[in-house]
Amino acid sequence: MRIYVGNISFRSTDETLYEAFSQYGQVEEAAVITDRQTGRSRGFAFVTMPDEDAQKAIEALDGTDVDGRTWRVSEAREPTARRPGGGRRDGDRD
C-alpha cells in the first residue's frame, strides 16, 4: 500500500521516514518528495509498505510530532505509479 505523509519537516529525509515506518513493518520504499525544479523538499513524502503494516503505521504515525512538525499520514490517493496501465493489472477484475 502506498502511504502519503504530509506536513513533514523540511529537514526530514528518506531515512527519517524509513526509521519511523520501519518500526511498524517492512518498508518497501520511502521517498521524500523534493521539488524537481529546485531539488528542495516539498514537505511531503510517500511510503510503500505491505497492506497490514501500512495501516498500522498510518494510525501509529498520523498526528505524531516529528522533527518539530505534526505528520499527516494517510493512504495515498492515486492508485499507483503514473505509468501506462494506471495501476490496473491486465488481470484486474471484479
Q: For DNA, which residue of 1, 42, 55, 56 counts as binding (CB under 7 A)?
A: 42
5, 79 Cβ separation under 8 angstroms? no
Q: Which stretch binds DNA (CB under 7 A): 15-23, 28-36, 51-59?
A: 28-36
Rounded distance between C-alpha atoms, residue 44 and residue 33, angstroms? 6
Nearest approach, Cβ of residue 80 and DNA (Å): 7
Nearest approach, Cβ of residue 7 and DNA (Å): 5
β-pair type (41-48, 29-34):
antiparallel
H-assigned helices in 1-94: 14-21, 51-61
What is the residue type of 74?
S
- What residues make contact with DNA under the rule CB under 7 A? 2, 4, 6-10, 29, 31, 33, 35-36, 40-44, 46, 48, 69, 74, 76-78, 80-83
